[in-house]
Amino acid sequence: MKLPQRALRRVKLLVLRVAQPPGRLFVRLMALGARRESPGPGDGEARPRVSFLLLNAYGVGGTIRTTFNTAGWVARTHDVEIISVVRRRDAPALPFPDNVKLSTLDDQRRPPGLFGRLPSAFVCPEDYGFRACSLRTDIALARRLRTLPPGILISTRPGLNVAAADLVPEGVTLVGQEHMNFLSHRSGLVRRIRRKYPKLDALVVLTQGDLDDYRRMLSGAKTRVGRIPNALPVLDGQLAGLDDKVVVAAGRLRLQKGFDLLIRAYADVARAHPDWKLRIFGGGEEHDALEALIERLGLRESVSLMGATRTLQEELPKGSIFVLSSRYEGFGLVIIEAMSHGLPVVSFDCPRGPSDIVDDGENGILVPNGDVPGLTRALLELIEDDDKRHRYGTAAPRKAHEYDMSNIGPQWDSLLAELR
């Protein structure tokens, strides 16, 4: 008899929970021969060293984009390297910052071999990046971290934060970053976070809600917890005219982003204003299900899945409203990008991020999380009120300016100086 999906997942988690500890011991033994790098030509001559540990620097996503952005800023005063845990293509999909070195641990363009077919022993199975990793990834990660010279390592997701906490050598200051919110983590990952995050020297979060949660959790630990929002990438500054009858949404086509909710909300908008169109940019596993939903609701003429794009900054100014329908977020950098082009925002007030960015009634509208009829009403409000749409759009770039790298970058400078 076939096990139900949920029961099967529990069995897999139980097996991994038993198998991971001996697997971690094996990985450590495999990394014993790795020799530590020299710190540089004289303690006073070398620039301070900062490494960023990123799951996949060759992909597309908010964490990748903001890590590149931060690394480029830090490289003004530090020797900076981005360590990509995995690699699946020949070159990064996003523009890579100048004066930053890029290295890879597990080049998955080559055959996996035995260790590449075995599950990771260091990355928590309930981290969403677990499936990208393997025992081969672990061995490469352990060897690389063991060889790091003194400096600062900034790790960029929970699964890597907890792994690095067990692997970095003495003399390396470990900074964990949270690009998703505390409430979105699965229970097994939360348990591991509670055990391992006290080993971090610092934890950087994006929102006030996460700052409060992690400070409570790490009360009494040595870990310094601070908030540094994601910075706005350098954009062309083109402003939308707000007269094109286009609503724009963007993100990975996955359940988290709530595009199924948005499409349902847009059905009544399409009936009231068939001349307005919804364009959703992004690719992902929900594409076929969303296409079927569009067909079922008779929205083929009104809603388009535009696919993934590397030129979102050229598409945003073609819209007149930006909408975010996520069930949860880590921050919502795309909101700031839309605002920088003068788009008013309609967003679910999901945990976490939108309420830190959108000033309800000034540059956008916050809708109770998951309230599909409320999302419909908010879209109609801005579609039908030209004055309000333009007023909110005029206010949006002023809000976006708060997240310019010229304002966010110095916060990183201060943190790194204090940690050194």
**What pLDDT, on the 0 to 100 scale, is given for residue 39?**
61
pLDDT at position 42, please? 45
- Among 65, 125, 61, 73, smallest CA distance to 95 is for 65
pLDDT at 2: 55
Quote the tokens at residue 12: 């897999």
The pLDDT of residue 6 is 79
Residue ranges in the chain whose pLDDT is less than 50: 1, 42-44
* Interatomic CA distance for residues 156 and 126, integer angstroms: 16
The amino acid present at 411, given as its one-letter code, is Q
pLDDT score of 190:
96
- As to burial, measured by CB atoms within 10 angstroms (0-12 exposed, 13-18 middle, 19+ buried), residue 50 is buried
- Per-residue confidence (pLDDT) for residue 12, from 0 to 100: 87
Give the model's pLDDT for residue 227. 97
Q: Which residues contact 192 (CB under 8 A, 6 or more apart)?
A: 124, 158, 162
- DSSP code string of 228-250: -PPPBPP---PPP-S-S-EEEEE
pLDDT, tens digit, 9 for 90 and up, residues 210-236 = 999 999 999 999 999 999 999 988 777
How many alpha carbons lie under 13 Å from residue 23 in its C-beta half-sphere? 21
The DSSP string of 170-232 is TTEEEEEE-SS-GGGS-HHHHHHHHHHGGG-SEEEESSHHHHHHHHHHTTTSS-EEEE-PPPB
